[in-house]
Structure 1
Amino acid sequence: MKNYSFTVLLAAVFALPTQAQTINIPGLGGFKLPTKKTTTTTTTTTTTAVSGLTNTEAANGLKEALIQGISKGSDQASQVDGFNLNKLIRIPFPPDAQKMANTLRSIGLGSQVDKFELSLNRGAEDAAKSAKPIFINAIKQLTFSDVWNILTGQKDAATQYLKRTTTSQLTTAFMPIMQQSLDKVDATRYYSTLSATYNKLPLVTPVQTDLNQYATGKAIDGLFTLIAQEEADIRENPVARTTSLLKKVFGIGGK
Structure 2
Amino acid sequence: MTQQIQWNRRGILAGAGALGIAGFLPTQAAAQGLNLGLGKGLGLGSLLGKATDGALDKLAQPGAFYGDEDIRIGLPIVGNLGGRSGGLFGRLMNAGNRLGVLGDVTRTINDAAGLAAGEAKPIFRDAINGLSFEDAPSIIKEDDGGTQYLRSSSNERLHSRFEPLVDTALEKLGVYKSFDGLAEKHSFIRQAGWNRQSINRSVTDQGLDGIFSYVGQEEREFRKNPVGNIGGALGDLLGK
1:73 equivalent to 2:75? Answer no
Residue matched to 1:105 = 97
Q: Deviations over 1:53-103 (max 9, x none)?
A: 675237742111111110010010011011111122111223445532311
> Quick check: 1:104–1:113 contact (8 Å CA) kept in 2?
yes
SS of equivalent to 1:88: coil
How far 1:245 sits from its partner (Å)? Answer: 4.5
How far 1:246 sits from its partner (Å)? Answer: 7.5
1:176–1:98 distance in 2 versus 1, CA, 3 Å: farther
Q: What TM-score comes out, normalization by structure 2 length?
A: 0.73
1:81–1:148 distance in 2 versus 1, CA, 3 Å: same
1:66–1:135 distance in 2 versus 1, CA, 3 Å: same
Whole-Å separation in 1 of the counterparts to 2:234 and 2:181: 50
- Correspondence for 1:117 among 100, 103, 106: 106
Whole-Å separation in 1 of the counterparts to 2:219 and 2:116: 22
Residue matched to 2:157 = 169
- Correspondence for 1:157 among 140, 145, 155: 145
Residue matched to 1:63 = 45
Whole-Å separation in 1 of the counterparts to 2:231 and 2:91: 50
How far 1:147 sits from its partner (Å)? Answer: 2.9
1:233–1:216 distance in 2 versus 1, CA, 3 Å: same
> Quick check: 1:156–1:231 contact (8 Å CA) kept in 2?
yes
Q: What TM-score comes out, normalization by structure 1 length?
A: 0.69
Whole-Å separation in 2 of the counterparts to 1:208 and 1:123: 21
> Quick check: 2:167–2:200 contact (8 Å CA) kept in 1?
yes
> Quick check: 2:65–2:110 contact (8 Å CA) kept in 1?
yes
> Quick check: 2:183–2:190 contact (8 Å CA) kept in 1?
no
Segments of 5+ residues of structure 2 without an aligned counterpart are 1-16, 82-88, 236-240
How far 1:114 sits from its partner (Å)? Answer: 0.8
Residue matched to 1:25 = none
Whole-Å separation in 2 of the counterparts to 1:116 and 1:242: 42
Whole-Å separation in 1 of the counterparts to 2:168 and 2:110: 13
Q: Mapping of 1:212-227 within 5 angstroms? A: 212-227=200-215
1:183 equivalent to 2:175? Answer no
> Quick check: 2:60–2:118 contact (8 Å CA) kept in 1?
yes
Residue matched to 2:127 = 138
Q: Deviations over 1:103-137 (max 9, x none)?
A: 1233xx21x21110111011001111121111111
Whole-Å separation in 1 of the counterparts to 2:203 and 2:34: 42
Whole-Å separation in 2 of the counterparts to 1:246 and 1:68: 16
1:11 equivalent to 2:25? Answer yes
Residue matched to 2:9 = none
Which structure is larger by alpha-carbon Rg, 1 or 2? 1
Q: What fraction of aligned residue pairs are identical, expressed as a percent?
A: 27
1:160 is matched by which residue type in structure 2? Answer: Q
- Correspondence for 2:68 among 76, 83, 86: 86
- The answer to which of 57-66 and 170-179 deviates more is 57-66
More helix by share: 2
Q: CA RMSD in A?
A: 3.1
> Quick check: 1:116–1:187 contact (8 Å CA) kept in 2?
yes
